[in-house]
Amino acid sequence: MSGELRIIPVTGLAEIEEGDDLAELVAAKLELENGDVLVLAQKIVSKSEGRVIALAGIEPSEEAREIAGDDEDPRRIEVILREAARVVRVRPPLVIAETTHGFICASAGVDASNAPEPEMLVLLPHDPDASARRIRDRIRELTGREVAVLVTDSFGRPWRQGTIDVALGASGLEVMRDLRGTRDPVGYELHSTMIAVADEIASAAELVMGKLDGVPAAVVRGLEVAGDGRALDLVIPEERDLFR
Protein backbone atom coordinates (compact mmCIF):
# COMPACT_ATOMS: atom_id res chain seq x y z
CA MET A 1 0.00 0.00 0.00
CA SER A 2 2.82 2.41 -0.82
CA GLY A 3 1.64 3.79 -4.15
CA GLU A 4 0.10 7.17 -4.77
CA LEU A 5 -3.56 7.86 -4.03
CA ARG A 6 -5.95 10.13 -5.88
CA ILE A 7 -9.02 11.65 -4.31
CA ILE A 8 -11.43 12.73 -6.99
CA PRO A 9 -14.50 14.84 -6.22
CA VAL A 10 -17.72 13.83 -7.99
CA THR A 11 -19.07 17.16 -9.17
CA GLY A 12 -22.28 18.22 -10.86
CA LEU A 13 -24.74 15.99 -9.02
CA ALA A 14 -28.18 17.57 -8.79
CA GLU A 15 -30.16 17.79 -5.54
CA ILE A 16 -31.00 14.22 -4.52
CA GLU A 17 -34.63 13.17 -4.02
CA GLU A 18 -36.34 10.07 -2.67
CA GLY A 19 -36.04 7.19 -5.09
CA ASP A 20 -33.02 8.60 -6.97
CA ASP A 21 -30.57 5.96 -8.16
CA LEU A 22 -27.28 7.20 -6.67
CA ALA A 23 -25.23 4.52 -8.42
CA GLU A 24 -26.55 5.60 -11.80
CA LEU A 25 -26.14 9.31 -11.07
CA VAL A 26 -22.52 8.89 -9.95
CA ALA A 27 -21.60 6.51 -12.77
CA ALA A 28 -22.85 9.12 -15.24
CA LYS A 29 -20.45 11.70 -13.80
CA LEU A 30 -17.21 9.74 -13.87
CA GLU A 31 -15.76 6.48 -15.12
CA LEU A 32 -15.45 4.21 -12.11
CA GLU A 33 -12.55 1.73 -12.07
CA ASN A 34 -12.16 -1.64 -10.38
CA GLY A 35 -10.77 -1.10 -6.89
CA ASP A 36 -12.14 2.43 -6.49
CA VAL A 37 -13.66 3.39 -3.16
CA LEU A 38 -16.77 5.47 -3.77
CA VAL A 39 -17.51 7.71 -0.78
CA LEU A 40 -21.03 9.08 -0.43
CA ALA A 41 -22.13 11.67 2.12
CA GLN A 42 -24.81 10.22 4.40
CA LYS A 43 -27.01 13.18 3.53
CA ILE A 44 -27.55 12.11 -0.09
CA VAL A 45 -27.99 8.44 0.82
CA SER A 46 -30.63 9.40 3.39
CA LYS A 47 -32.42 11.67 0.94
CA SER A 48 -32.48 8.97 -1.73
CA GLU A 49 -34.02 6.63 0.86
CA GLY A 50 -36.64 9.14 1.96
CA ARG A 51 -35.14 9.51 5.45
CA VAL A 52 -36.36 13.09 5.69
CA ILE A 53 -38.94 14.36 8.14
CA ALA A 54 -40.91 17.58 8.38
CA LEU A 55 -40.95 19.44 11.69
CA ALA A 56 -44.57 20.42 11.06
CA GLY A 57 -46.10 17.14 12.24
CA ILE A 58 -43.94 16.64 15.35
CA GLU A 59 -45.41 16.92 18.85
CA PRO A 60 -42.53 17.45 21.31
CA SER A 61 -42.47 15.52 24.58
CA GLU A 62 -41.88 17.14 27.96
CA GLU A 63 -38.25 15.94 27.90
CA ALA A 64 -37.71 17.52 24.48
CA ARG A 65 -39.18 20.83 25.68
CA GLU A 66 -36.93 20.81 28.72
CA ILE A 67 -33.74 20.18 26.72
CA ALA A 68 -34.74 22.72 24.07
CA GLY A 69 -35.21 25.55 26.57
CA ASP A 70 -36.03 28.93 25.06
CA ASP A 71 -33.50 28.96 22.24
CA GLU A 72 -34.04 25.70 20.44
CA ASP A 73 -36.95 24.15 18.54
CA PRO A 74 -38.37 21.41 20.81
CA ARG A 75 -39.64 19.54 17.76
CA ARG A 76 -36.06 19.09 16.56
CA ILE A 77 -35.05 17.74 19.98
CA GLU A 78 -38.04 15.41 19.88
CA VAL A 79 -36.88 13.92 16.57
CA ILE A 80 -33.39 13.46 18.04
CA LEU A 81 -34.79 11.64 21.07
CA ARG A 82 -36.80 9.35 18.78
CA GLU A 83 -33.66 8.45 16.80
CA ALA A 84 -31.66 7.81 19.99
CA ALA A 85 -31.32 4.51 21.80
CA ARG A 86 -29.70 6.36 24.70
CA VAL A 87 -28.77 9.93 25.58
CA VAL A 88 -25.07 10.08 26.47
CA ARG A 89 -24.63 13.75 27.44
CA VAL A 90 -26.82 16.83 27.34
CA ARG A 91 -25.70 20.42 27.52
CA PRO A 92 -28.80 22.20 26.25
CA PRO A 93 -29.38 22.47 23.38
CA LEU A 94 -26.53 20.06 22.55
CA VAL A 95 -27.49 16.38 22.77
CA ILE A 96 -24.90 13.61 22.35
CA ALA A 97 -26.75 10.34 21.81
CA GLU A 98 -26.23 6.74 20.91
CA THR A 99 -28.26 5.99 17.82
CA THR A 100 -30.31 2.84 17.36
CA HIS A 101 -27.40 1.53 15.23
CA GLY A 102 -24.90 2.10 18.06
CA PHE A 103 -23.14 5.21 16.75
CA ILE A 104 -22.46 7.87 19.39
CA CYS A 105 -22.73 11.33 17.88
CA ALA A 106 -24.27 14.78 18.18
CA SER A 107 -28.06 14.94 17.71
CA ALA A 108 -28.25 11.19 17.00
CA GLY A 109 -27.27 12.09 13.45
CA VAL A 110 -30.34 14.28 12.91
CA ASP A 111 -29.41 17.35 10.88
CA ALA A 112 -31.21 20.37 9.51
CA SER A 113 -28.40 21.62 7.29
CA ASN A 114 -28.57 20.65 3.65
CA ALA A 115 -32.10 19.37 4.10
CA PRO A 116 -34.24 19.64 0.98
CA GLU A 117 -36.36 22.49 2.39
CA PRO A 118 -36.57 24.68 5.50
CA GLU A 119 -38.37 23.00 8.43
CA MET A 120 -37.14 19.58 7.29
CA LEU A 121 -34.64 17.28 9.01
CA VAL A 122 -32.49 14.56 7.51
CA LEU A 123 -32.11 11.32 9.53
CA LEU A 124 -29.42 8.65 9.23
CA PRO A 125 -30.21 5.66 6.99
CA HIS A 126 -31.90 2.76 8.83
CA ASP A 127 -28.98 0.46 7.96
CA PRO A 128 -26.05 2.29 6.37
CA ASP A 129 -24.09 -0.93 5.72
CA ALA A 130 -27.06 -2.22 3.73
CA SER A 131 -27.28 1.11 1.89
CA ALA A 132 -23.62 0.80 0.89
CA ARG A 133 -24.13 -2.80 -0.24
CA ARG A 134 -27.13 -1.92 -2.38
CA ILE A 135 -25.30 0.92 -4.10
CA ARG A 136 -22.24 -1.28 -4.67
CA ASP A 137 -24.36 -4.05 -6.19
CA ARG A 138 -26.12 -1.55 -8.41
CA ILE A 139 -22.80 -0.14 -9.65
CA ARG A 140 -21.65 -3.65 -10.57
CA GLU A 141 -24.92 -4.18 -12.41
CA LEU A 142 -24.67 -0.90 -14.32
CA THR A 143 -20.94 -0.75 -15.08
CA GLY A 144 -19.45 -4.18 -14.46
CA ARG A 145 -16.97 -2.52 -12.08
CA GLU A 146 -16.04 -3.93 -8.70
CA VAL A 147 -15.86 -0.94 -6.34
CA ALA A 148 -16.15 -0.46 -2.59
CA VAL A 149 -18.72 1.95 -1.18
CA LEU A 150 -18.61 4.01 2.00
CA VAL A 151 -21.40 6.10 3.49
CA THR A 152 -19.88 8.84 5.65
CA ASP A 153 -20.86 11.58 8.07
CA SER A 154 -19.15 14.28 10.14
CA PHE A 155 -18.74 13.41 13.82
CA GLY A 156 -17.36 15.41 16.71
CA ARG A 157 -14.96 13.74 19.13
CA PRO A 158 -14.25 13.91 22.85
CA TRP A 159 -11.08 15.88 23.63
CA ARG A 160 -10.59 17.31 20.14
CA GLN A 161 -12.14 20.30 18.42
CA GLY A 162 -13.94 20.15 15.14
CA THR A 163 -15.51 17.33 13.22
CA ILE A 164 -13.94 14.70 11.03
CA ASP A 165 -15.73 12.37 8.67
CA VAL A 166 -16.17 8.73 9.67
CA ALA A 167 -17.67 5.66 8.03
CA LEU A 168 -21.31 4.85 8.85
CA GLY A 169 -21.79 2.25 6.15
CA ALA A 170 -19.37 0.12 4.15
CA SER A 171 -19.40 -2.57 1.52
CA GLY A 172 -16.56 -4.25 -0.34
CA LEU A 173 -13.67 -3.15 1.82
CA GLU A 174 -11.65 -4.09 4.85
CA VAL A 175 -12.78 -1.43 7.31
CA MET A 176 -9.95 -2.20 9.74
CA ARG A 177 -6.39 -3.20 8.97
CA ASP A 178 -5.22 -5.57 11.67
CA LEU A 179 -1.48 -5.42 12.33
CA ARG A 180 -1.60 -7.39 15.57
CA GLY A 181 1.07 -10.02 15.66
CA THR A 182 3.19 -8.43 12.97
CA ARG A 183 6.63 -7.12 13.82
CA ASP A 184 8.39 -3.83 13.28
CA PRO A 185 11.92 -3.60 11.81
CA VAL A 186 13.66 -4.31 15.15
CA GLY A 187 11.40 -7.27 15.87
CA TYR A 188 9.05 -5.62 18.34
CA GLU A 189 5.62 -7.13 18.07
CA LEU A 190 2.83 -4.65 17.45
CA HIS A 191 0.33 -5.59 20.13
CA SER A 192 -2.63 -3.47 19.48
CA THR A 193 -2.44 -1.80 16.16
CA MET A 194 -5.79 -1.95 14.47
CA ILE A 195 -6.13 0.87 11.99
CA ALA A 196 -9.61 2.20 11.25
CA VAL A 197 -8.96 2.42 7.52
CA ALA A 198 -12.58 3.14 6.61
CA ASP A 199 -12.63 6.17 8.92
CA GLU A 200 -9.37 7.41 7.42
CA ILE A 201 -10.80 7.06 3.91
CA ALA A 202 -13.91 8.96 5.04
CA SER A 203 -11.75 11.83 6.32
CA ALA A 204 -9.60 11.82 3.21
CA ALA A 205 -12.67 12.09 0.99
CA GLU A 206 -14.12 14.93 3.09
CA LEU A 207 -11.12 17.05 2.10
CA VAL A 208 -12.59 17.33 -1.41
CA MET A 209 -16.27 17.15 -0.43
CA GLY A 210 -16.64 20.02 2.01
CA LYS A 211 -20.03 21.07 3.31
CA LEU A 212 -21.12 23.84 0.98
CA ASP A 213 -19.47 22.97 -2.29
CA GLY A 214 -22.29 20.74 -3.50
CA VAL A 215 -19.83 17.86 -3.69
CA PRO A 216 -21.50 15.04 -1.75
CA ALA A 217 -19.39 12.23 -3.25
CA ALA A 218 -15.78 11.41 -4.02
CA VAL A 219 -13.71 8.53 -5.33
CA VAL A 220 -10.51 7.33 -3.66
CA ARG A 221 -8.36 5.60 -6.24
CA GLY A 222 -5.15 3.63 -5.68
CA LEU A 223 -5.88 1.95 -2.34
CA GLU A 224 -5.85 -1.80 -1.97
CA VAL A 225 -8.57 -2.35 0.58
CA ALA A 226 -10.88 -4.99 -0.88
CA GLY A 227 -12.60 -6.98 1.85
CA ASP A 228 -15.94 -7.51 3.47
CA GLY A 229 -16.07 -5.46 6.67
CA ARG A 230 -19.10 -3.60 7.96
CA ALA A 231 -18.88 -0.03 9.22
CA LEU A 232 -20.79 -1.17 12.29
CA ASP A 233 -17.68 -3.20 13.22
CA LEU A 234 -16.01 0.15 13.90
CA VAL A 235 -18.27 0.73 16.88
CA ILE A 236 -16.36 -0.47 19.92
CA PRO A 237 -18.15 -3.18 21.94
CA GLU A 238 -19.45 -1.72 25.18
CA GLU A 239 -17.42 -4.08 27.37
CA ARG A 240 -14.15 -2.92 25.76
CA ASP A 241 -14.97 0.78 25.85
CA LEU A 242 -13.41 2.74 28.70
CA PHE A 243 -15.56 5.78 27.91
CA ARG A 244 -19.10 4.51 27.34
DSSP SS3 for 84? strand
Residue of the chain from 14, 57, 70, 160 that contacts its own copies (CB under 8 A): 160
Residue of the chain from 100, 145, 200, 227 that contacts its own copies (CB under 8 A): 200
Q: Which of residues 162-191 bind its own copies (CB under 8 A)?
A: 162-166, 176, 179, 182, 184-188, 190
Residue with Cβ nearer its own copies (77 or 134) = 77
Q: Which of residues 135-154 bind its own copies (CB under 8 A)?
A: 154
Among 148, 237, 136, residue whose Cα is nearest residue 198: 148
Q: Which of residues 99-128 bind its own copies (CB under 8 A)?
A: 104, 112-118
Q: What are phi and psi of 21, to 5 degrees?
A: -95, 95
CA 181 to CA 167: how far, in whole Å?
A: 26
CA 123 to CA 242: how far, in whole Å?
A: 28
Residue of the chain from 31, 144, 212, 239 that contacts its own copies (CB under 8 A): 212
Q: Which of residues 64-103 bind its own copies (CB under 8 A)?
A: 89, 91, 94, 96
Residue of the chain from 52, 54, 196, 226 that contacts its own copies (CB under 8 A): 196
Task: Using CB under 8 A, count the residues that bind its own copies.
Answer: 72
**CA-to-CA dists, residue 70 to 41, 74, 108, 143, angstroms:** 32, 9, 21, 52
CA 90 to CA 106: how far, in whole Å?
A: 10
Q: Are 209 and 167 in contact (CB under 8 A)?
A: no
Binding segment for its own copies (CB under 8 A), chosen from 46-54, 76-84, 143-151, 157-165, is 157-165
DSSP SS3 for 91? strand
Residue with Cβ nearer its own copies (64 or 175) = 175
Q: Which of residues 18-57 bind its own copies (CB under 8 A)?
A: none
Q: Please name the amino acid found at residue 9.
A: P
What is the smallest separation between the CB atom of 141 and its own copies, expressed in angstroms? 27
